[in-house]
Amino acid sequence: TLADIAASALVSQKAPALAQAAAAVATPQIRNMGTLGGNLVQKVRCWYYRDPDRADCYKRNGSYCYAVFGASDMHAIFDGAACFAVQPSDTAVALAALDARIVVAGPEGHRVVGVDDFFIGPDVDYLRETTLARDEIVVEVRIPASALGQRSLFLKAAPRRSINFARGSIAAMVIGSPLIQSARLSLGAGAPTPRRAKSAEAHLAGKRLQPDVIAKAAELAVEGARPLGSNTYKIQLIQGLVRQALTRLAG
């Protein structure tokens, strides 16, 4: 369960970003019942998609996205295509930073999918969110040895902390000190899938986590953002989360 992951001393030591993300999900009651697999495969978060009167929504196989001209506070600023609903999983963001693998089981046996390939954006198929077939389930999550024990963390911005879905989040992992050998930055609540900030990652490689380097990484993290009518605030929010996360990792 998510509660077990959040409370695990081993997970906190070896993959702190995952423990922190699990602790940030919803309420204690939900964390006691909800599982990591369930958190990964939940449906996208959109108040229009969940409104039974919006039958022509793209996610309902319709031909319209209400967020484009409506209230878009919670919606994507990156990678929106027909649909701008965001992936709400906190743990998915952490696992993307940790370069995790998702083990899937079905009638044909098991297969292993990298977390970056597990989620599907609307540019590929706006009716699906993951690569899971109808007769498959998630049975295991693997974090590679190269990520275990590395500096990582997860931060989430929400109106009522963990009770609400994130308005923005980040998971970051850096390898190497004082010079960074490699970094993985994953952004949440900004795109239909967990979004890697690859330009910021490339910028960090070979550098120290100094204020000017961190500021530039935050700037690069929102490269390509295209906000809708009422979610422009997410640009500054995500930049702030990136600065805060990297500053904390710098110690």
Q: What is the DSSP letter of 225?
A: -
Mean pLDDT across 176-200: 97
Q: Are 183 and 151 in contact (CB under 8 A)?
A: no
In whole angstroms, what is the distance from residue 98 CA to residue 154 CA? 11
- Please state the pTM of the whole predicted model: 0.96
Instruction: Check pLDDT > 80 for residue 163.
Output: no
- pLDDT value, residue 251: 85
In whole angstroms, what is the distance from residue 128 CA to residue 197 CA? 23
- Which residues on adjacent β-strands are paired with residue 103? 112, 140
- pLDDT value, residue 82: 87
- pLDDT value, residue 162: 58
The label of the residue with tokens 């994507």 reads 76
Q: Are 183 and 221 in contact (CB under 8 A)?
A: no
The 10s digit of each residue's pLDDT in 63-119 is: 999 999 999 999 999 998 889 999 999 999 999 999 999 999 999 999 999 999 999
- pLDDT value, residue 161: 64
Q: Are 88 and 193 in contact (CB under 8 A)?
A: no
* Percent of residues, the chain, with pLDDT higher than 90: 94
Phi-psi region at 21: left, alpha or beta (left = phi > 0; alpha = psi -120 to 50): alpha
